[in-house]
Amino acid sequence: MPTATDSVASDSMASTSSYRSPATAPPLAAPSRSIGAWSPLPAPQITPRLELPESVRAVPPRRSSMGRSGIRWGRFAGVTAALAAGYTGIYLFERKQWWDGPGSGFKFDSHLNYARNFDKISHLYAGEVQALINARLLEWSGVPKNQASLWGAVTSLAAQTHVEIHDGYSARWGFDWYDQAANTVGAAWFYAHDRIPAMRRFDLRWSYYPSNAWLKNLEERQKEGTMFADDYSGHAYWMSMQVYDLLPGALGRAWPEFLQVSVGASLHDWTDDTWSLKGPERGRDPDAYVAYYVSLDVDWRKVIPRNSWLGRSAGDFLNRFHLPFPAVRVWPEPGVHLIFVGQK
């Protein structure tokens, strides 16, 4: 007499022998409540309820001042207004100091060797720093970095060219092609420095300490309209460079990344008593000389975190200035300065 177990076994064997592929097999039958028998009940139809993540749910778009280009137009308007106001203020000051007087027809007055050409270096440096400030402000307003770098350089060169053109119409000065060349190199240096990674191993820096001649005749200089920017005996210009990635092997790994080596030059014992002269004699002081130094500098880009616009801008800006670090005077009269300030 067959048992319930035998019935189950026979049903199982029959089911196995009549196996069909999943593509043609009917839906799995649900087991009946009676033991030992199968009921061909259809599988329940379950409609899944999908919960979409918050990030992909349809939500009303938020209002933003950022256009499709990514520019934040409110910031952009503020930046352009600030730059326009700043350059207007500089122009009014320069007009009062340098161009307040009878004008003349446009003329050229180009000369080399004025202040041992430290004025040309100052034009280059000023053009580079202006381009940096303009570019970082434009970048803050949402202008893409490559375009901000380009327009920073263009606006800096335009502003300095504007000054040269006004000099050309001044009875006291004239358009100086060498100054304009230095302006152009300064803007181009910034753009290359900002866009080419290898260029960022080098930084042009400036330091200043009032010279003795400037302090002695300070009131007279101010009446003449000259400023500390014309006190070239107090200027020193430096080219700092990264060292850790230039040294081989273990030496490079041991060198602190934030520490740079700088080579610099400063002008000594020069006084601007020949500005009224024309031609090659202007600005030549037979007692003036250039001294050369080797010193250290801090790479602020390795000290200040660069994960924000403010951090990047602060590091780049501070890298344009030389700190009063110890320096070795190479020529003339080699020696050591425990704290370098410039004029002896």
Model confidence at 49: pLDDT above 80: no
The more confidently predicted of residues 14 and 210 is 210
Helical residues (DSSP H) of the chain, grouped into ranges: 4-17, 73-97, 118-140, 145-168, 177-195, 212-216, 218-224, 249-254, 309-318
| 241-267 residue pLDDT tens | 999 988 888 998 999 999 999 999 999
The answer, yes or no, to whether residue 174 has pLDDT greater than 50, is: yes
| In the predicted structure, residue 229 carries a pLDDT above the cut 90 | no
Give the bridge partners for 109, in sequence order.
none
Of the pLDDT bands very low, low, confident and very high (cuts 50, 70, 90), residue 278 is low
Checking if the pLDDT of 130 tops 90, the result is yes
* pLDDT value at residue 54: 52
Res. 6: pLDDT tops 60: no
Lowest mean pLDDT among 55-64, 124-133, 224-233: 55-64
Are 149 and 194 in contact by the 8 Å Cβ rule? The answer is yes
34 pLDDT tier (thresholds 50, 70, 90)? very low
Which residue would you say has higher pLDDT here, 224 or 62?
A: 224
Instruction: Give yes or no for a contact between 115 and 272, defined as CB atoms under 8 angstroms apart.
Output: yes
| pLDDT over 90 percentage in the chain | 54
- The answer to which of 112-116, 132-136, 244-248, 312-316 has the lowest mean pLDDT is 112-116
Arithmetic mean of pLDDT, 286-300:
93
58-100 tens-digit pLDDT: 555 454 445 556 899 999 999 999 999 999 999 998 888 788 7
Give 103-117 pLDDT, tens digit per residue: 778 999 888 888 889
Check residue 204 and give its pLDDT.
98
Residue-wise DSSP of 273-322: --TT--GGGTT--TT-EEEEEEEEEE-GGGTS--SSHHHHHHHHHHTTB-
Q: What pLDDT is recorded for position 43?
A: 56
In terms of pLDDT, which residue wins out, 270 or 209? Answer: 209
**Lowest mean pLDDT, pick from 4-18, 211-225, 238-252:** 4-18
Instruction: Enter the pTM of the model.
Output: 0.77
Mean of pLDDT values over 34-39: 46
Q: What is the pLDDT of residue 287?
A: 79
How far apart CA 221 and CA 219 sit, in angstroms, is 5
User: Is the pLDDT reported for residue 56 higher than 60?
Assistant: no
Token pair, residue 184, equals 């152009």
Highest mean pLDDT among 7-16, 35-44, 55-64, 235-244: 235-244
Q: Give the relative orientation of helices 118-140 and 309-318 as an angle to the nearest 10 degrees.
A: 180
User: Burial level of 241, CB count in 10 A (0-12/13-18/19+)?
Assistant: middle
Is the pLDDT confidence value at 185 over 80? yes
Of the ranges 2-6, 169-173, 275-279, which is most confident?
169-173
